[in-house]
Amino acid sequence: MKKLDKRVNLLLSLLLLAGAILLIGYLDANRGEYSYALSILERSAIYAVVAVAMNLLTGFTGLFSLGQAGFMAIGAYTVAILTIPVEERAAVYYVNGISDALATVHLPLWGALIVGGLFAALMGWLIGYPVLRLKSDYLAIATLGFSEIIRAFIAAPQLDRITNGSYGLKSIPAFPSTYLVFGVSALCIFLMVMLLRSSYGRAFKAIREDETAAEAMGINLAKHKQMAFVISCFFTGIAGGMLAVYMRSIDARSFQIGLTYDILLIVVLGGIGSVTGSIVGSFLMTAGREWLRFFDDPLMIGDFSVPLFRSGFRMVIFSLILMAIVLYYRKGLMGTREFSWDGIYNFLRRNLYLRWRKQEGKEVTRDE
């Protein structure tokens, strides 16, 4: 496999980054026309953070957790409570009022996101001690149960003065800039990638491959499993806080089990063990769901109404497409591979240049 020069790789990466910034700037400048497309991209970027965090735990450490919705709820409610303007809280907590300890507490968005991530990480640390002794399906069931417990606590009447119970929270300030959504998402993913490339990341992968061999090599299984779980919860909490700001209003029903299944589907679709796959899967799944909405509208051909085009048919088509992709790509779209310019160059070279050389009857040398 031929490799591009490092300077060429850097130049192509900078051009891709500049193109993404220009595209976001153009969509933001014409928000009135492209608000729908922009909202899809923003939600995709937020889901990408959760998907990479889940992949860090499942794909790179081998721990199958289904508690993402619960940890997103912790981050979302923390950010919402800390960022709702003080003067608007009486209108939000109109039933029982807000707790005196929280009445005047207010943080900027960046501070609230960090606190939300820390609260989610703290809860992950507390939950991790009992549940990380379990393996495989038992761990998944335990974390799924804790996720539902968290959601039930949020909606409990006893916490009305903190979470506003079943009434939810509204008047959450929006993102001051569109660039902030993508910037925070990119920073979170970058930090997780750097972690995976460190010695801790190599220890996580060793645990995934063989726990017995990893322990024989001197890796503390309990410590590294707990670390992976807490870090995943931290970034999941930040993503939950970003989702709350994106939605502007939340309640306990926003974080049902279905949200965890959506994130799991993104990870499987993109490739378990691939950061790039999680990002690509997030954008494809979120956009695909929205762009197929025309299947939910009645279709008339003259006086004949096509019976299948009705509310809910979109999800049938979407499910069939996902099944076809998973059957064709058994390990997901990216498998365990990551995006690289070298890979794109060699793919194009094999499928275009060398094929053209053979069609022209020219000899293909080994060096080519």
pLDDT score, position 343: 75
Question: What is the Cα–Cα distance from 97 to 360, expressed in whole angstroms?
Answer: 79
Stretch among 45-49, 172-176, 216-220, 308-312 having the lowest mean pLDDT: 308-312
Domain annotation covers residue 13: no
Residue-level pLDDT at 96: 82
Residue 158 has pLDDT above 90, yes or no: no
Burial group, residue 17, by CB count within 10 angstroms (0-12, 13-18, 19+)? exposed
Note whether residue 321 is domain-resident: no
Residues 6 or more apart in contact with residue 306 via CB below 8 angstroms? 298, 299, 300
In the chain, % of residues over pLDDT 70: 88
Query: What is the pLDDT averaged over residues 15-19?
Result: 88
> Is residue 329 domain-resident?
no
In this prediction, residue 289 carries a pLDDT of 81
Check pLDDT > 60 for residue 363: no
In Å, what is the CA distance from 41 to each residue of 72, 178, 182, 287, 319?
19, 10, 9, 8, 21
- The residue that leads in pLDDT, 295 or 191, is 191
How many C-beta atoms surround the C-beta of residue 94 within 10 A?
Answer: 11
**What is the predicted pLDDT for the residue at 59?**
87
Top-confidence residue, 4 or 211: 211
Q: Above 60 in pLDDT, residue 77?
A: yes
Percent of the chain with pLDDT over 90: 29
Query: Which residue segment(s) compose the domain that 214 sits in?
Result: 34-263
Q: Mean pLDDT over residues 273-285, rounded?
A: 89
296 domain-assigned: no
The stretch 177-182 carries a mean pLDDT of 90
Q: What is the number of domains present in the chain?
A: 1
Residue 170 located in a structural domain? yes
With respect to residue 201, please indicate whether it lies within any of the assigned structural domains: yes
Do 105 and 82 touch, CB atoms closer than 8 A? yes
Mean pLDDT over 115-138 rounds to 89
Contacts of 213 by beta carbon, 8 Å cutoff, 6+ apart: 206
Statement: residue 351 has pLDDT above 70:
no
Sign of the torsion angle spanned by Cα atoms 51, 53, 54, 60: positive
- Of 131-140, 160-169, 322-331, the one with minimum mean pLDDT is 322-331
The confidence score (pLDDT) of residue 29 equals 84
If one compares 309 and 189, the residue with the highest pLDDT of the two is 189
Query: What pLDDT does residue 232 have?
Result: 94
pLDDT digit string, tens, across residues 283-339: 988 888 877 776 766 666 666 666 666 676 777 777 788 788 778 877 788 888 878
Per-residue confidence at 350, pLDDT binned at 50, 70, 90?
Answer: low
pLDDT in tens, 212-268: 888 888 888 889 999 999 999 999 999 999 999 999 999 888 898 888 988 988 998
Q: What does pTM read for this prediction?
A: 0.88
In terms of average pLDDT, the best of 93-102, 262-271, 338-347 is 262-271
pLDDT of residue 117 exceeding 60, the answer is yes
Residue 279 has pLDDT above 80, yes or no: yes
pLDDT at 128: 87
Tell whether 29 is covered by a domain. no
Q: Is residue 144 part of a domain?
A: yes
Q: What is the pLDDT of residue 189?
A: 94
Query: Cα 242 from chain centroid?
Result: 11
Distance of CA 20 to the CA centre of its chain: 19
Cα angle 231, 232, 237; round to 5: 100
Better-scored residue on pLDDT, 83 or 339: 83
User: Quick one: DSSP state of residue 99?
Assistant: -
pLDDT of residue 360: 56
Model confidence at 48: pLDDT above 90: yes
Looking at residue 43, what is its pLDDT?
Answer: 92
The whole-number pLDDT of residue 287 equals 84
Average pLDDT over residues 58-62: 88
